[in-house]
Amino acid sequence: MRKIPPVCLVLFFLTLVGGIKKKTINIGIFLNDDDHYETSTIALTSVVRRINLYTKVEYLLRPHIFRTQKHEIWKTGQTACNLLRKGVAAIFGPEHPEINSMIQSISTNLEIPQFQTFWNPLQAPFVTNQQPEKPLQIFNLHPSPWSLSKALATLIRENDWKSYAILYESDEALLRLEQPLNQLHPNDPAVAFKALGSPENYRVVLKEVKNSGVLHFVLDCEVERIMDVLKIAKEQNLMTEFHSYILTNLDAHTLDWSELKNIRSNITALRMIDPADPHVKNAALIWNQNMKYDILDTVKNAAIQKELNRTRPKRRTYNDILPSKLLTKTILLYDALNLFISIFSELDSKLNVTLRPLSCESNLTSEHGRLFSDLLILKRNHHLLLQPLTGPITRFDTIGYRRAYRLQIVELEEAKFRVTGTWDSSAPDKLNLTLTQEERVTELKKKIQKRNFRVVSRLGDPYLMRLPDPPGKPLLGNDRFEGYAVDLVSEICKPQHLNCSYTFELVPDGMYGNFDPVTKKWNGIIKELLEYRADLGICDLTITYERRKAVDFTNPFMYLGISILFSKAVKAPPDLLTFSHPLSFEVWIYIATSYLIVSLIMFIVARLNPNDWENPHPCNPYPSERENIWTFRNCCWLTMGSFMTQGCDLLPKGISTRLVVAMWWFFALIMTACYTANMTAFLTSSRMGSTIESAEDLAAQTKIKYGCVDGGATSSFFKDTNFSTYHRMWVQMESADPSVFEKSNKDGVKRVVSSKRKYAFVMESSNIEYEMERNCDLVQVGNLLDSKGYGIAVPFNAPYRKAINEVLLKMQEMGLLQTLKDRWWKEKHGGGKCTKDKQSDDAAATEMGFDNVGGVFVVLAIGVVFSLMMAVCEFLWNVRKVAVRQKITPKAALIQELKFAVNIWARQKTVNAAISMEKFD
């Protein structure tokens, strides 16, 4: 510990130049022995000089500046006690919390005002435990622990951080973060706490943080440690554009951020100093002048010039003090000294204060301490001699903390901080943003236009397909691929939308992305996004609950559901006797038998019933004989005509015969109606083909095997479902041997085609539609089992997610998404092939081909041929009788009858007279 070099003495010589006699006021200043000691010294000497030269002040400030080190607690106490014997008006510092406890006690016991400029959480309990009659002597210009915690809580809430990790250097950081932790709700994700420990332990801690997947961080450490922590974080890939940091140290803006090249993370900090403030710039300018002694060189005084000549050989070369590099403690020390002399001047003008020597061993207190404390606490809106650099200093609370102040919210942009808002202690629950949401959106769009998106995908029709290389010139980059995903990203990146570029890459393992509960790691596309090797993941990637916990998704660009792919039934060639299939062979036998039996019964009943014996000569009322027209042939004809719904010109007259005919008609009516209805159903069922219509049908049988892609979203759906039918299907799929799972949808489709209706494949409906457009033997069975969508996967906290959502919504409203789907589903690579077949199938519902009714024509042909054969037989039989009766040769009779038969104009045939008379007799 040592006193300030002769710089301050030079200032004292300066005050003697004018010959004005002023009252000397001793003040004690304890500064840390660190790299900022010189800057703090220059700031103090500058304000002392300005005050000493101030014409309205009749005092000569005499600062006693001491360099202190953290471990010199007892020595610093002795130095303070020795200083008190000279009569001290106020003490400033020390900056070490360990040393401050001793100085704080001395100041309170002897009633000497002490000004602190650091974050002191022990001030409140110290003041509270003091004797009530003791006046408050501790005044801290640094934000209080409660108010700074409130500012951080408001900032975290406005950033909408639901979960984050707190990286802290000491346990005091938890006091700074008390309010953010109190704002957490029970349903919010837990906040992770990680003690940084020693610098050698940083890498281990940050590896643990990386494995946890946290994206938001609150970093609380000394300003000298911030850059060390962030450099290791960058090595661990924790400084991407998806990560965000809030720095609690108020001096974070003073660091050289160019050391971290290509910073993409959002880094936010708070500060009390506005480097752009004219008063701060002017103060820095004056300090730089004092450092170079330029002002002192203008003084024409032999004593001062002698002192300058003595000190100049020992001067060090200082760099200019920049406003952006000023520490908070330096500015607060400047304001504290300014506040003290302003209040003391006002007090002395009223009471003529006397500064008497004091001793640490006696109980004697200062005369001005109590009066100074009352004036500082009770009076508001203090008028200071110099303009304060941290804003107006209006009042202090009963603990000694500064009440009214303002903090700037700054964000890092291209290695420099810019102001994005302010936080005011008078309204602690809100931020005053200087950067509007529209301006942020505009900035984000400009950044998106400059970037090239790394898109990771996997091969799969029609989303991404590899083009064949032309002879002698292999394709490179995006030219290697085509498909729906390529066209979708190309549309998103068009100038009228995001106006960006992209590069497609294949995922190394070819997987969508599944979580392994054993290794606790993801694979596939999700892994690439989690490790930030890709910006977008796009293919037929289903948005699931598990994936949504790992990465974020855009709005779905395609809606779909799980369904069942199966083969169409192969239609067998229609049977010649297809018309007979609605009734079984036994029924046809029973009908034929019934026909013969009923005809026979009709014949018997008609012979027994007297009403069916008729007069052969109606003109003779008293015939000698009656005849019965119901021969067995006529009975068969009646039953046949009734069964064919054609009727007959012969009708029964007896009650019994009519009853028999009525029963037969009823039987014929029912059988005809059943045949017609069953024929319709038979023809319809022959077109339907499929034997399964829903997932319930699959689950209820064991003949047809079924499966899905192994480890995909579909398998997760069945595995995690609570629906009994789907759970039963999952159990059957898991226990099937051989395995029913396939590596890809393409393999599943091949298995369905080759299995000949022995295997069904469960997959997304969009892929089923694609396959059905190209393979007409495939069919979708049943309705959708669920509802979901395909989305573009992005890492959490991706700044471009909202912009992509807006483009997708616009494309949906314009119909571009449907146009892209039609292009790759129905137009390219054989699409639309089965549209004509589908229309033919629809038309077949109202038409029957010749194959279905050919048997009826065969029956007709057979009946006609048989009738012709019977006609020939009857004709030949009649020729024989004519030859016998007319006593001519059969040949002559055949020629005669044949000539008459072919004479189609002959309507009458001559009957032989002898035969006529014979019949008449």
Q: What is the pLDDT of residues 505-534, one digit of tens each?
A: 999 988 898 888 888 889 999 999 998 899
Residue 846 pLDDT: 45
Shared domain for 176 and 124, answered yes or no, is no
Cα–Cα distance, 245 to 268 (Å, whole number): 6
Could you tell me if residue 785 is inside a domain?
no
The amino acid at 330: T
Q: Which residues sit opposite 466 in a β-bridge?
A: 481
Cα 97 vs. chain centroid, distance in angstroms? 47
Residue showing tokens 């984050």: 164
Residue 229 pLDDT: 93
Shared domain for 234 and 151, answered yes or no, is yes
Shared domain for 38 and 12, answered yes or no, is yes
Residue 919 pLDDT: 45
Shared domain for 126 and 169, answered yes or no, is no
Check: CB of residue 285 under 8 Å from CB of residue 262: no
Cα–Cα distance, 143 to 401 (Å, whole number): 7
Beta pairing, strands 216-220 & 244-247: parallel
DSSP alpha helix (H) spans, 136-222: 145-158, 173-176, 178-182, 202-212
The amino acid at 237: N
The CA–CA distances, whole Å, from 779 to 62, 564, 654, 692, 783 equal 97, 8, 62, 11, 12
Check: CB of residue 505 under 8 Å from CB of residue 534: yes
Q: How many CA atoms lie within 13 A of 608 on its CB side?
A: 9
Q: Which two tokens stand for residue 567?
A: 């083969």
Which DSSP helix (H) or strand (E) runs through 717? helix 713-720
* CATH code of the domain covering residue 290: 3.40.50.2300
Residues of the chain predicted below pLDDT 50? 1-20, 294-301, 303-308, 310-315, 688-690, 843-846, 913-921
Q: How many of the other CB atoms lie within 10 Å of CB of 620?
A: 9
In this structure, what are the phi and psi dihedrals at residue 13, rounded to the nearest 5 degrees? Answer: -60, -35
Q: Which two tokens stand for residue 121?
A: 């959480």
Q: Which two tokens stand for residue 571?
A: 């239609």
Which DSSP string do the residues of 502-561 spell out, in sequence order?
EEEEE-TT-----EETTTTEE-HHHHHHHTTS-SEE-SS-B--HHHHHHSEE-S-SEEE-
Shared domain for 219 and 153, answered yes or no, is yes
Domain end (from 418, 435, 452): 435
Cα–Cα distance, 152 to 247 (Å, whole number): 9
Which DSSP helix (H) or strand (E) runs through 705? strand 705-707
Cα–Cα distance, 223 to 796 (Å, whole number): 29
In this structure, what are the phi and psi dihedrals at residue 331, rounded to the nearest 5 degrees? Answer: -65, -40
Check: CB of residue 614 under 8 Å from CB of residue 572: no
Check: CB of residue 209 under 8 Å from CB of residue 194: yes
Cα–Cα distance, 169 to 222 (Å, whole number): 8
Q: What angle do CA 343, 59, 336 make, to 5 degrees?
A: 40
Cα–Cα distance, 526 to 531 (Å, whole number): 9
Residue 86 pLDDT: 87
Which DSSP helix (H) or strand (E) runs through 221? none
Is residue 542 marked as binding? yes
Shared domain for 137 and 226, answered yes or no, is no
Is residue 55 marked as binding? no
Q: How many CA atoms lie within 13 A of 131 on its CB side?
A: 7
Shared domain for 60 and 168, answered yes or no, is no
Q: Which two tokens stand for residue 533?
A: 């090797």
Instruction: Identify the three-state secondary structure at position 738.
Output: coil
- 734 torsion bin: left (phi>0), alpha (psi -120 to 50), beta (else): alpha
Q: Which residues sit opposite 345 in a β-bridge?
A: none
Q: Domain range spanning residue 610?
A: 578-617+625-688
Residue 904 pLDDT: 64
Shared domain for 266 and 413, answered yes or no, is yes
Beta pairing, strands 627-628 & 613-614: antiparallel
Cα–Cα distance, 435 to 266 (Å, whole number): 15
Could you tell me if residue 178 is inside a domain?
yes
List own/partner pairs for 592-598 with CB under 8 A and 24 or more apart.
594/667, 595/636, 595/639, 595/640, 595/643, 596/636, 598/639, 598/660, 598/664
Cα 430 vs. chain centroid, distance in angstroms? 29
Shared domain for 153 and 261, answered yes or no, is yes
Q: What angle do CA 816, 820, 822 make, to 5 degrees?
A: 115
Contacting residues for 125 by C-beta, under 8 A, at least 6 apart? none
The CA–CA distances, whole Å, from 801 to 453, 554, 623 equal 12, 6, 111
Cα–Cα distance, 213 to 166 (Å, whole number): 14
Check: CB of residue 911 under 8 Å from CB of residue 900: no
SS3 content of the chain, % helix, strand, coil (to 5): 45, 15, 40
Residue 855 pLDDT: 61
Contacting residues for 342 by C-beta, under 8 A, at least 6 apart? 382, 383, 384, 385
Q: What angle do CA 123, 125, 128 make, to 5 degrees?
A: 105
Could you tell me if residue 769 is inside a domain?
no
Instruction: Identify the three-state secondary structure at position 3.
Output: strand
Cα–Cα distance, 402 to 395 (Å, whole number): 6
Shared domain for 137 and 150, answered yes or no, is no
Shared domain for 138 and 282, answered yes or no, is yes
Could you tell me if residue 553 is inside a domain?
no
Whether the link from the prior residue into 738 is cis, omega within 30° of 0, is: yes
Residue showing tokens 């060090």: 316
How many domains does the chain contain in total? Answer: 4
Instruction: Identify the three-state secondary structure at position 120.
Output: coil
Residue 614 pLDDT: 75
Among the listed residues 650, 652, 627, the one whose alpha carbon sits nearest the alpha carbon of residue 637: 650
Cα 786 vs. chain centroid, distance in angstroms? 19
- Global pTM reads 0.71
Residue 536 pLDDT: 95
Could you tell me if residue 555 is inside a domain?
no
Which DSSP helix (H) or strand (E) runs through 898? helix 890-902
Could you tell me if residue 751 is inside a domain?
no
Is residue 311 marked as binding? no
Could you tell me if residue 297 is inside a domain?
yes
Domain end (from 329, 358, 378): 378
Cα–Cα distance, 336 to 37 (Å, whole number): 17
The amino acid at 21: K
Could you tell me if residue 211 is inside a domain?
yes
Residue 812 pLDDT: 92
Q: How many helices (H) and strands (E) does the chain have?
A: 33, 30
Is residue 157 marked as binding? no
- For helices 202-212 and 223-235, the axis angle rounded to 10 degrees is 60
Q: Which residues sit opposite 172 in a β-bridge?
A: none
Check: CB of residue 231 under 8 Å from CB of residue 248: no
Check: CB of residue 531 under 8 Å from CB of residue 523: no
Q: How many of the other CB atoms lie within 10 Å of CB of 449?
A: 13
Shared domain for 202 and 248, answered yes or no, is yes
Domain end (from 415, 435, 455): 435
Cα–Cα distance, 148 to 142 (Å, whole number): 9
**Sign of the torsion angle spanned by Cα atoms 831, 836, 839, 841:** negative
Beta strands per DSSP E along 425-480: 432-433, 452-457, 465-466
- 892-908 in b/e form (b: 16+ CB < 10 A) is ebbeebeeeeeeeeeee
Check: CB of residue 232 under 8 Å from CB of residue 259: no
